[in-house]
Amino acid sequence: MTIKVRVYSDYVCPFCFLADQPLEQAIQGKDVEVEWMPFELRPYPNATLKPEEHYLQSTWKQSVYPMAERLDIEITLPKVSPQPYTHLAFEGYQYAKEKGKGNEYNDRLLRGFFQEEQDIGSVEVLTKLASEIGLDEKEYQEALETRKYKEVHQQALRHAYEEANITSVPTFVIGETKVAGIHSKETLEQLIAEEISKQKTNFPEGMMCGIDGC
């Protein structure tokens, strides 16, 4: 039976970018389906972060860069200031997901922001990145400009905020288990194994038919 893993993330969260590698390693050879779920850390009109601010640079120096070095992943604090809002990027994700390229799109945007310092709040930039993974450039751009997927994205956010009770990212929901923060390959493997074991033992004991039917 397939184990479903949902990863709640935002495109401006560096730990969401770093969390992808241990997850990909953990699911190798396993019957696991991964779905990335939208979560806006600072939705419009809240102010977004500015990379030139000392506290943000300090956080990266003390936490982000050491973790990236440990994982051997190239990452940089993007100079885009202020950081972009991500609602358009997520609306584009809904389009990409509909076309069967949701996870590929998610990876391209994270790399575009954290490795190439591209402004993922720009329709022009988003369209270029989408075209690089084979999405129809004209159709994608039109979807963003007409806000075709605005309500779909808003529903996804309501799910994250109100139903799944997500308060920080990345957050993994592995089967029925929810864990927040970046985790090692070994920890994720253990959680997946536990969920597989639960499914194997979750047998509906005692079911039967009577004279009146089943």
The amino acid sitting at 5 is: V
Residue 73, CA distances (Å) to 14, 66, 104, 115 in order: 11, 10, 18, 10
Looking at residue 167, its pLDDT comes to 96
Q: What is the rounded CA–CA span in Å between residue 212 and residue 191? A: 43
pLDDT at position 209: 80
Contact between residue 90 and residue 102 where contact means Cβ atoms under 8 Å apart: no
How is residue 174 annotated by DSSP? E
Q: What pLDDT sits at residue 212?
A: 76
134 contacts: CB under 8 Å, gap ≥ 6:
101
Q: Has domain 3-201 been given CATH number 3.40.190.10?
A: no
Q: What is the pLDDT of residue 201?
A: 64
Contact (CB, 8 A) for 204 and 211? no
Q: Are 171 and 178 in contact (CB under 8 A)?
A: yes
The pTM score is 0.91
At residue 162, the pLDDT reads 96
Where exactly are the structural domains of the chain?
A: 3-201
**pLDDT per residue of the chain (214 residues) written in tens, 0 to 9:** 799 999 999 999 999 999 999 999 999 999 999 999 999 999 999 999 999 999 999 999 999 999 999 999 999 999 999 999 999 999 999 999 999 999 999 999 999 999 999 999 999 999 999 999 999 999 999 999 999 999 999 999 999 999 999 999 999 999 999 999 999 999 999 999 999 888 776 566 667 787 777 6
Q: Alpha helices, DSSP H only, in the chain?
A: 14-26, 54-59, 65-71, 87-98, 102-114, 123-132, 137-145, 150-158, 185-201
pLDDT for the residue numbered 198: 84
Q: What is the reported pLDDT for 108?
A: 98
- Asked if omega into 45 is within 30° of 0 (cis), the reply is yes
